[in-house]
A and B are shown apart, each in its own frame.
Chain A
């Protein structure tokens, strides 16, 4: 066909003259992280879930004796619980819902044909979750300090708990987003958020429940995170290995299952 020779002699200076190639990986991941974060912060429902609800619960339950929080200031009990809730709201609920709809709208499919590798997309998603968590932790810390919070413990333990908690919740959130329909993910992720808020030792102490139930509930990732943060921040413990262990198991299970069952279309 003559068009073949035409291609070779085509002007080298045309607007659309092919010049393909991927951008450097670091630039792609940075750009994708910025976009993912912007999408998250632009979404009103997401902000309600990740910023407004944890902050509001912290203020309301610290101000009034609605639940019995044991000895000490209420805020000392509540602040670690709401930090845990903030992690769950972003890494699990928010990420599951957003990713579910991205899958439904063909965003993940289209990105699959772009130069961005899939692992780089997941890295960017994790990056945007971490950026959001930093904002949440900063905001909740400021509010809690204003309410008279006096945290103890070492920062490394706290950071480790937050990172393992994020890994556990991300795995579970992505598993849900990659296997269910977007609407089902929306409903299920919100329901799970609500149940774990009540039954996960966030604002209601696990000791409120009968002993056997409390022990079982402690195995949940939200309880392990909340209790672990409480051990460190409220009671000044070193490394809460038990809680870190529970989170690590959830992280391995969730991420492995997500890697195995996630459907991109």
Chain B
């Protein structure tokens, strides 16, 4: 049982009328890791997650969550997962703390509600009815409700949307602790830094398909080239430098005295560049390595135009 992945999706197709929201999507999340599902608005993130939660019946494909069919075996699956919807889920007249205590009563061995209220700062909004919470405040009780039942697998749909930096960090810490204690977390997000910092594995979705996946650092590296920049005397002869470097390396003088070298930036390359500088009696000032971030990869893959 433990050897099956927490989430296994193959060839998922989901249509809403004429619109295809998910179009042949594959996803596998090993147990005990944090998986981030990234993608522009309308990419199919929520549909994918809600299919795993048992809310949507796939039009085609195969979905197994903790080894179970989320629709046919919902009764067995639901006690084992924690769900945070993108919005809502709390009685408009309920208070955050009240709703959390209630959710605890639906589970066999819940976490201590008071400890969680304290930890997530729900005490401050504890007396206010849910409908009057503002900004990112509603996210916090919803997150707490997702984890209070001590689930094996937690689905968080945009858990940090609208949160201030402190609350975002508190959420990140919580997700890391969940993983450290052996839970699996699947989250969707728009924030690249969130995926980069938090996730063991990242899946980028666009147009209802996975367009890239892997560990965040692998994805960012992705075989693409990094850049080494340095400043020196103008008019250096870069041809002799390129001879000393691997064949697929490029170099140019962008503005007089300002150079870049594009290629596989590793210690060997750095040593080659600096020794070439030494040969030419050049002091390489402001030497800097620029790595691609996940955001660069994301924008390269999904384009820069705004989505609705």
Interfacial residues, chain A to chain B (CB-CB below 8 A): 1, 3-4, 6-8, 10-11, 14-23, 27-28, 31-32, 35, 39, 42-43, 101-102, 105-107, 109-110, 112-117, 265
CA distance A116 to B108 in the complex (A): 12
With A8-B32, A101-B92, A109-B89 as contacts: A19 and B181 at CB distance below 8 Å: no
Q: Which of B165-187 contact A (CB under 8 A)?
A: 177-184
Q: Which of B231-266 contact A (CB under 8 A)?
A: none
Q: Is the pair B105, A3 in contact by a Cβ cutoff of 8 Å?
A: no
Chain A CB within 8 A of B109 CB: yes
Please pick, from B33, B89, B115, the residue contacting A4 in the complex, using a CB distance under 8 A.
B33
Q: Is the pair B30, A4 in contact by a Cβ cutoff of 8 Å?
A: yes
List of A residues within 8 angstroms of B183 by Cβ:
16-18
Chain A CB within 8 A of B295 CB: no
Chain A CB within 8 A of B111 CB: yes
List of B residues within 8 angstroms of A114 by Cβ:
78, 83, 103, 106, 149
Chain A CB within 8 A of B2 CB: yes
Assuming A105-B90, A107-B91, A115-B78, what are 10 further A-B pairs, CB within 8 angstroms? A3-B32, A20-B79, A22-B107, A23-B108, A31-B102, A42-B93, A106-B88, A110-B90, A113-B81, A115-B79
30 contacts between A and B (CB under 8 A): A3-B30, A3-B31, A3-B200, A4-B31, A7-B32, A10-B181, A15-B115, A16-B183, A18-B151, A20-B108, A20-B150, A20-B152, A23-B105, A31-B102, A31-B106, A32-B106, A35-B94, A35-B98, A35-B102, A39-B94, A101-B92, A102-B91, A102-B92, A105-B91, A105-B130, A106-B85, A107-B92, A113-B83, A115-B107, A117-B75
List of B residues within 8 angstroms of A16 by Cβ:
111, 147, 150, 177-178, 180-183
Chain A CB within 8 A of B53 CB: yes
Please pick, from A18, A27, A110, the residue contacting B85 in the complex, using a CB distance under 8 A.
A110
Q: Is the pair B88, A18 in contact by a Cβ cutoff of 8 Å?
A: no
Q: Is the pair A110, B89 in contact by a Cβ cutoff of 8 Å?
A: yes
List of B residues within 8 angstroms of A18 by Cβ:
80, 150-152, 181-183
Q: What is the chain B residue whose CB lies nearest that of A101? A: B92
For residue B55, give the distance in angstroms from its CB to the closest CB of chain A: 7
Interfacial residues, chain B to chain A (CB-CB below 8 A): 2, 30-33, 53-55, 75, 78-81, 83, 85, 87-94, 98, 102-103, 105-109, 111, 115, 130-131, 145, 147, 149-152, 177-184, 200-201
For residue B201, give the distance in angstroms from its CB to the closest CB of chain A: 7
Give how many A-B residue pairs fall within 8 Å (CB-CB). Answer: 149
Please pick, from B30, B108, B145, the residue contacting A21 in the complex, using a CB distance under 8 A.
B108
CA distance A8 to B30 in the complex (A): 12
List of B residues within 8 angstroms of A109 by Cβ:
55, 85, 88-89
Please pick, from A8, A15, A42, the residue contacting B181 in the complex, using a CB distance under 8 A.
A15
Q: Which interface residue of B54, B90, B182 has the most chain A CB atoms within 10 A?
A: B182
Q: Is the pair A10, B151 in contact by a Cβ cutoff of 8 Å?
A: no
Q: Is the pair A105, B180 in contact by a Cβ cutoff of 8 Å?
A: no
Q: Is the pair A116, B106 in contact by a Cβ cutoff of 8 Å?
A: yes
List of A residues within 8 angstroms of B79 by Cβ:
20-22, 115
For residue B70, give the distance in angstroms from its CB to the closest CB of chain A: 10
For residue B120, give the distance in angstroms from its CB to the closest CB of chain A: 13
Q: Is the pair A3, B179 in contact by a Cβ cutoff of 8 Å?
A: yes
List of B residues within 8 angstroms of A23 by Cβ:
105-108
List of B residues within 8 angstroms of A113 by Cβ:
53-55, 78, 81, 83
With A8-B2, A113-B55 as contacts: A14 and B177 at CB distance below 8 Å: yes
Q: Is the pair A10, B180 in contact by a Cβ cutoff of 8 Å?
A: yes
Q: Which interface residue of B85, B105, B131, B152 has the most chain A CB atoms within 10 A?
A: B105
List of B residues within 8 angstroms of A42 by Cβ:
93
Closest 10 CB pairs of A and B: A7-B32, A106-B88, A110-B89, A14-B181, A21-B108, A3-B33, A10-B182, A31-B105, A16-B181, A113-B83
List of B residues within 8 angstroms of A39 by Cβ:
91, 93-94
With A19-B150, A109-B55 as contacts: A7 and B106 at CB distance below 8 Å: no
Please pick, from A8, A19, A31, A107, the residue contacting B109 in the complex, using a CB distance under 8 A.
A19
List of B residues within 8 angstroms of A106 by Cβ:
85, 87-89
Q: What is the chain A residue whose CB lies nearest that of B152? A: A18
Q: Is the pair A28, B152 in contact by a Cβ cutoff of 8 Å?
A: no
CA distance A31 to B201 in the complex (A): 38
Q: What is the chain B residue whose CB lies nearest that of A182? A: B92
Q: Is the pair B89, A107 in contact by a Cβ cutoff of 8 Å?
A: yes
Q: Is the pair B200, A1 in contact by a Cβ cutoff of 8 Å?
A: yes
Q: What is the chain A residue whose CB lies nearest that of B87? A: A106
CA distance A20 to B107 in the complex (A): 7
For residue B227, give the distance in angstroms from its CB to the closest CB of chain A: 30
CA distance A117 to B87 in the complex (A): 21
List of B residues within 8 angstroms of A22 by Cβ:
78-79, 106-108
With A8-B2, A106-B87, A109-B89 as contacts: A1 and B78 at CB distance below 8 Å: no
Q: Is the pair B81, A28 in contact by a Cβ cutoff of 8 Å?
A: no
CA distance A18 to B147 in the complex (A): 9
For residue A88, give the distance in angstroms from its CB to the closest CB of chain B: 22
Q: Is the pair B201, A1 in contact by a Cβ cutoff of 8 Å?
A: yes
